């Protein structure tokens, strides 16, 4: 069976759904192909900074998410020796910043809810991409072939579309992470602040999503002995606690209260920044967005925000190309498809040009931040505490002080 649609988006993650919703707001229909049989909920929660909220407001879902999540007022760094706060940052004192830790499921549901019924097609695994003149033929595992004018890869770090464009697999940073989420019956009492703790090369963080839900994480450099422990849900809790022996009791209790299904372990990967400078973010009528475009470490909490920005910019560029009427010359020559294909290619090039350096600086900043915060040694600990901590906090806020623009292109 072969069907034809203007825009095919591979992957119903943050970037894919934002792009589809942005296109819908502008009057362009799309279909979103998701390999799973439902929306994916990997990672539990993510931090969204000011830049992400501006973009979410643009596609019309910001307010509904604000009502369900705390606004983070500041960040506290806890001493590994005394268990007391060694530094505290107020986000409001640094400017009008908005930071919330958002449940991934809530974010995906908010985006999906605004789309027309049938936009997302579950259990639709892409197995092959074929060229056919000015179109792409997307082959699915069930034998369906979809003919499209625009193909957008939002299919994550192991993206098939990114490979088609020539990108290599993301690179392992040498670090791993375990993320956890715990919900209490009553209020957890931690208040609207983010906490961080460093101990012997291990970084721990904890943030509230709302008055009952806490999201936490650790990052570290794994040894060969860690591999089996960190991937076994039955032993993961004790593994995490063993890495954080000096963690204050209040924070240890967060980990201890996490249920076995509330842990997830992953290797931290990223795309080398120079690959973005020379690689094909777009080619012909194909492009990538989100983790398929710029996988990055979680150290500045901008992976999700960057994906939302991608969606807004991409929707704007694609809609402008598709909605423009063909010229009289193209009509006379019967070259409407050719002219539109050229406009699509120009639109995707415009998107790539606009997003290339933004992605470059986010990946670079995130990797640098992780390196500084993860490094061990007395000298590095001293520099981090006395000088680098305040510099890095300022850098995070600087990266969040960004506006990807509105949807309208006129």
Q: What angle do CA 277, 281, 282 make, to 5 degrees?
A: 135
Predicted pLDDT at 247: 87
User: Cα–Cα distance between 133 and 130 in angstroms, integer?
Assistant: 10
Task: Tell me which residue of 11, 43, 3, 5 sits closest to 120, measured CA to CA.
Answer: 11
| 86, 197 Cβ separation under 8 angstroms | no
Residues of the chain scoring pLDDT < 70:
79-88, 92-95, 225-231, 373-392, 409-410
Tell me the per-residue pLDDT of 121-175, one tens digit each, with 9 for 90 and over.
999 999 999 999 999 999 999 999 999 999 999 999 999 999 999 999 999 999 9
Predicted pLDDT at 190: 84
Q: 189-194: which pairs have CB atoms within 8 A and are 24 or more residues apart?
A: 190/214, 191/73, 192/70, 192/71, 192/72, 192/73, 193/72, 193/73, 193/74, 193/75, 193/76, 194/72, 194/74, 194/75, 194/76, 194/99, 194/101
What CA–CA distances, in Å, run from 392 to 89, 96, 206, 268? 12, 18, 18, 20
Predicted pLDDT at 382: 58
Token pair of 405 as six digits:
């623009």
């Amino acid at each position: 069976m072969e069907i034809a649609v203007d825009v095919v988006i591979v992957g119903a993650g943050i970037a894919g759904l934002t792009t589809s919703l942005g296109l819908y707001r502008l009057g362009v229909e799309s279909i979103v192909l998701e390999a799973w049989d439902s929306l994916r909920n990997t990672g539990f929660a993510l931090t969204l900074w000011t830049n992400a909220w501006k973009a979410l407001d643009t596609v019309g879902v910001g307010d509904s998410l604000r009502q369900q999540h705390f606004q983070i007022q500041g960040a506290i760094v806890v001493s590994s020796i005394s268990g007391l706060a060694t530094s505290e940052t107020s986000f409001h004192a640094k400017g009008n910043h908005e930071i919330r830790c958002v449940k991934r499921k809530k974010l995906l549901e908010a985006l999906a809810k605004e789309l027309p019924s049938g936009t997302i097609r579950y259990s639709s695994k892409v197995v092959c991409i074929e060229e056919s003149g000015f179109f792409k033929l997307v082959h699915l595992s069930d034998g369906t072939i979809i003919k499209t004018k625009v193909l957008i890869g939002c299919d994550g770090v192991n993206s098939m579309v990114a490979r088609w464009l020539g990108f290599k697999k993301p690179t392992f940073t040498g670090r791993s992470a375990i993320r956890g989420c715990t919900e209490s019956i009553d209020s957890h009492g931690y208040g609207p602040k983010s906490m961080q703790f460093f101990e012997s090369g291990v970084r721990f963080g904890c943030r509230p999503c709302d008055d009952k839900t806490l999201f936490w994480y650790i990052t570290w450099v794994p040894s060969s002995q860690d591999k089996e422990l960190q991937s076994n849900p039955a032993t993961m809790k004790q593994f995490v606690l063993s890495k954080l022996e000096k963690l204050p009791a209040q924070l240890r209790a967060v980990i201890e209260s996490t249920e076995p299904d509330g842990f997830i372990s992953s290797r931290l990967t990223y795309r080398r920044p120079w690959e973005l400078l020379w690689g094909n973010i777009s080619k012909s009528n194909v492009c990538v967005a989100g983790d398929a475009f710029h996988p990055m470490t979680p150290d500045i909490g901008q992976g999700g925000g960057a994906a939302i920005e991608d969606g807004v910019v991409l929707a704007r560029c694609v809609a402008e190309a598709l909605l423009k009427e063909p010229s009289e010359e193209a009509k006379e020559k019967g070259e409407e498809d050719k002219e539109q294909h050229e406009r699509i290619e120009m639109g995707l090039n415009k998107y790539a040009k606009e997003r290339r350096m933004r992605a470059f600086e986010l990946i670079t900043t995130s990797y640098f931040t992780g390196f500084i915060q993860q490094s061990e040694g007395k000298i590095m600990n001293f520099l981090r505490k006395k000088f680098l901590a305040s510099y890095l906090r300022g850098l995070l806020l600087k990266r969040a002080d960004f506006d990807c623009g509105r949807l309208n292109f006129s």
